């Protein structure tokens, strides 16, 4: 029987649902992060699959439990948004000497696969619950929270690996791979770089609120600073280079007003997290990071590119759903770790949450960036450093939210981290969770 | 005669990511022979400086890749060359009035011939 995807009814994508039924009953404990690499060198032992297995082992060890204690796994199968192989491409030579094979030849290479993981980790002997949280690890997190709250699993792995093959990431993909604009890609903006989808609404935002792209520099510099504190991040491991305001302002336009440093760098990496019931979490080694609620937004079809209006409306809705489900208010958040890959849309998330708002509803975030948004300050913005500071994964933010709540983030905020939020990816297409040090 | 060579980094220089075929020794030799040398890359300018310093190479300029025209304006020279591994390198070089070599074409150090043919 095929492994199912998340049932649609599990997503909290409407308002007026009240407090989440699982509030405080689910917690994250163990966290395991693989080494990073810029690209895959085609050796089995450095493949996305190998990194995934390494991350799982580290997460279980970090939780202080046995592999046989794990009874569930939720995995995001997509391991890139860029170049991938044809699904029938055979594995490289020597692959079968390192890993056992499943029917899908790209399992462990360009696709995460639960059967492949279990086949190559026989110590996970008690897994009963299996589900795919597709598209984004955010979905895997919300799926796992819901699965535990509903009693389908009590100790569950949340997993996502990222591959990055040699060569260019997006070039020759989508509509650009075709001679003419045809097939489903004809509905996209033909020939535009991916960051144009963030550049258009950002430009609208700047015009509406009288802001400039230069005002992003403070945020981007802070992202890199936070990322370089993370020993597991790509930049800290491979390119410990601090960006300056001058560097950022000199960046080449990719889709003006998005410059090259507003884009995140594709990397190879994997993350695994152990999530469990509040009762069992007490017996795990790390302090529990409780889930207070989760929520989802999806695009309302309006055209081939997102608009400022839809981004504001849907990120506002995300804020309202999260506060309704958790019972918290904006002022209860000690930090926010919303998605940043592209940097230009981070402030839409931030404003939808009314994070560090002084009564403002919209148009204040770029001014906030000019204040102290560091981990030492009163309003820590994206303490993880996000994709911008660590490389492209879409999960540094979730990982760091858990570690912040546990008090062991490498970029730990200086004020107490009691409540925080993380979500990905775009302002109109997002799955988010509120994390807390207390289940109550 | 004054000659200027701009190197892309990733995919071009041996310490790029991915590594290219142009070695530190080739760059150092060009510098010792009087070429103006530096880098025009998508790496941060501050990171480019740090790279040259880490390899103990005295450089004349660093710039963002699209700033080749600025380099040309700052350094009067008789010949300008940019070496890179992407079509974008070629496009930006030609727009800025630089000659262009692909990374693999640079491995034979053809600029050394300029000293014989143009450097009298």
With a cut of 80, say whether residue A185 has pLDDT above it: no
Q: Which domains does chain A have, with CATH numbers?
A: 12-168+266-281 (3.40.47.10)
Residues of chain A numbered 153-212 and touching chain B (CB < 8 Å): 166
Confidence check on the interface: ipTM exceeds 0.95, yes or no? no
Q: What is the pLDDT of residue A188?
A: 61
Q: How far is B101 from chain A, CA to nearest CA, in Å?
A: 20
Cβ of residue A283 closer than 8 Å to a chain B Cβ = no
Q: Do B45 and A250 touch (CB under 8 A)?
A: yes
Burial class (CB in 10 A: 0-12, 13-18, 19+), A71: middle
Check CB contact under 8 Å for A247 and B65. no
Q: Write out the DSSP string of A7-56.
A: PGGGS--SS---S-TTTTTEEEEEEEE---BSS--S-GGGSHHHHHHHHH
- Which domain CATH number covers B100? 3.40.50.1000
C-alpha distances in Å from residue A30, one per residue of A49, A115, A197, A275, A403: 20, 22, 35, 8, 9
d(CA A280, nearest CA chain B) in Å: 45
Q: Which residues, including other chains, have CB under 8 Å from residue A336's CB and lie 6 or more apart?
A: A349, A350, A353, A355, A380, A381, A382, A420, A421, A422
A276-300: per-residue pLDDT in tens? 999 999 999 999 999 999 999 999 8
A166/B64 touch (CB, cutoff 8 Å), yes or no: no
Q: Report the 3 state secondary structure along chain B.
A: CCEEEEECCCCCECCCCCCCCECHHHHHHHHHCCCEEEEEECCCHHHHHHHHHHCCCCCCEEEEHHHHHHHHHHCCCCEEEEEECCHHHHHHHHHCCCEEEEHHHHCCCCCHHHHHHCCC
Q: Taking an 8 Å Cβ-Cβ cutoff, which residues of chain B contact chain A?
A: 17-18, 42-47, 50, 63-67
Is A250 in contact with B18 (Cβ distance < 8 A)? no
**Percent residues over pLDDT 90 in chain A:** 89
Span A27-48, pLDDT tens digits:
999 999 999 999 999 999 999 9
Question: Mean pLDDT score of chain B, rounded to an integer?
Answer: 95
pLDDT tens sequence across A146-176: 999 999 999 999 999 999 998 777 766 655 5
Chain B nearest C-alpha distance from A166 (Å): 9
Between A238, A241, A252, which is nearest B64 by CB? A252
CB contact under 8 A, A252 and B45: no
Q: What is the largest CA-CA distance in chain A?
A: 61
Q: Does the beta-carbon distance from B43 to A241 stay under 8 Å?
A: yes
Structure confidence at residue A130 (pLDDT): 98
Q: How confident is the model at residue A187 (pLDDT cuts 50, 70, 90)?
A: low
Chain A residues close to B66, C-beta within 8 Å: 252-253
Give A-chain residues touching B44 at CB under 8 angstroms.
241, 243-244, 247, 261
pLDDT tens by residue, chain B, 120 residues: 999 999 999 999 999 999 999 999 999 999 999 999 999 999 999 999 999 999 999 999 999 999 999 999 999 999 999 999 999 999 999 999 999 999 999 999 999 999 888 765
Residue B110 sits in which domain range?
A: 3-117
User: What gap in Å lies between CA A178 and CA A389, rounded to an integer?
Assistant: 34
Instruction: Place A194 in a pLDDT band, splitting at 50, 70 and 90.
Output: confident
How many of the other CB atoms lie within 10 Å of CB of A304?
12
Question: Among partner residues A39, A166, A247, which is closest to B46 by beta-carbon distance?
Answer: A247
Number of domains comprising chain B: 1
State how far the Cα of A332 lies from the Cα of B108, in Å rounded to an integer.
63
Enumerate the residues of chain A whose CB falls inside 8 A of the CB of residue B43.
Answer: 241
A vs B: CB pairs below 8 A: 36
CA distance A250 to chain B (A): 7
* From A39, A166, A243, residue closest to B44, measured CB to CB: A243
**Between chains, do B46 and A38 touch, taking CB under 8 Å as contact?**
no
A241 lies within 8 A of chain B by CB: yes
Contact yes or no for A243 and B65 at CB 8 A: no
Q: Would you say residue A372 has pLDDT above 90?
A: yes
Q: Is A250 on the interface with B (CB under 8 A)?
A: yes
Among A164, A166, A251, most B C-beta atoms within 10 A, so best to mutate, is A251
Judge: B43–A166 Cβ closer than 8 Å, yes or no. no
């Amino acid at each position: 029987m095929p492994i199912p995807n998340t049932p649609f009814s599990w997503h909290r994508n409407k308002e007026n649902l009240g407090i989440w039924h699982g509030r405080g009953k689910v917690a994250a404990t163990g966290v395991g992060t693989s080494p990073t690499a810029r690209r895959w060198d085609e050796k089995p032992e450095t493949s996305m699959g190998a990194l995934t297995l390494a991350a799982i082992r580290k997460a279980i060890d970090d939780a202080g439990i046995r592999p046989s204690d794990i009874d569930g796994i939720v995995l995001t199968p997509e391991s890139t948004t860029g170049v991938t192989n044809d699904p029938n491409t055979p594995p490289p030579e020597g692959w079968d000497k390192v890993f056992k094979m499943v029917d899908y030849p790209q399992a462990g290479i360009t696709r995460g696969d639960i059967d492949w993981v279990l086949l190559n980790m026989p110590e996970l002997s008690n897994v009963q619950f299996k589900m795919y949280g597709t598209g984004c690890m955010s979905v895997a997190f919300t799926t796992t929270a819901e699965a535990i709250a509903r009693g389908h699993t009590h100790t569950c792995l949340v997993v996502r690996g990222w591959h990055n093959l040699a060569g260019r990431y997006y070039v020759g993909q989508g509509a650009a791979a075709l001679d003419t604009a045809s097939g489903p890609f004809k509905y996209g903006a033909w020939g535009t770089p991916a960051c144009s989808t963030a550049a258009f609404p950002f430009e609208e935002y700047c015009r509406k609120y009288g802001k400039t792209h230069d005002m992003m520099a403070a945020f981007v510099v802070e992202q890199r600073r936070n990322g370089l504190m993370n020993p597991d991040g790509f930049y800290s491991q491979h390119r410990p280079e601090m960006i300056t305001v001058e560097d950022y302002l000199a960046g080449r336009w990719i889709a003006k007003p998005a410059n090259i440093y507003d884009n995140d760098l594709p990397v190879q990496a994997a993350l695994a997290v152990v999530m469990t019931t509040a009762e069992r979490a007490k017996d795990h080694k790390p302090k529990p990071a409780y889930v207070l609620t989760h929520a989802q937004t999806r695009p309302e079809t309006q055209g081939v590119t997102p608009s400022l209006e839809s981004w504001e409306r849907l990120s506002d809705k995300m804020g309202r759903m999260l506060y309704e489900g958790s019972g918290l208010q904006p002022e209860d958040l000690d930090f926010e770790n919303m998605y940043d890959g592209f940097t230009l849309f981070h402030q839409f998330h931030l404003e939808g949450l009314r994070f560090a708002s002084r009564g403002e509803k919209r148009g204040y975030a770029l001014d906030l960036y000019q204040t102290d948004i560091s981990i030492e300050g009163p309003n820590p913005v994206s303490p993880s450093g996000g994709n911008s500071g660590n490389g492209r994964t879409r999960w540094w933010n979730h990982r760091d939210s858990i570690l912040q709540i546990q008090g062991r983030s490498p970029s730990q905020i200086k004020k107490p981290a009691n409540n925080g939020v993380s979500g990905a990816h775009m302002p109109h297409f997002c799955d988010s969770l509120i994390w807390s040090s207390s289940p109550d | 005669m004054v000659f200027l060579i701009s190197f892309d980094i990733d995919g071009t220089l041996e310490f790029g990511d991915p590594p290219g075929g142009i070695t530190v020794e080739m760059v150092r030799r060009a510098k010792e022979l009087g070429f103006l040398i530096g880098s025009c890359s998508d790496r941060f300018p501050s990171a480019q400086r740090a790279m040259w310093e880490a390899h103990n190479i005295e450089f004349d300029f660093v710039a963002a890749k699209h700033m080749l025209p600025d380099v040309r304006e700052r350094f009067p020279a008789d010949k300008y060359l940019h070496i890179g591994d992407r079509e974008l390198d070629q496009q930006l070089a030609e727009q800025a009035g630089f000659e262009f070599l692909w990374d693999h074409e640079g491995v034979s150090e053809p600029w050394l011939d300029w000293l014989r043919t143009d450097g009298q």
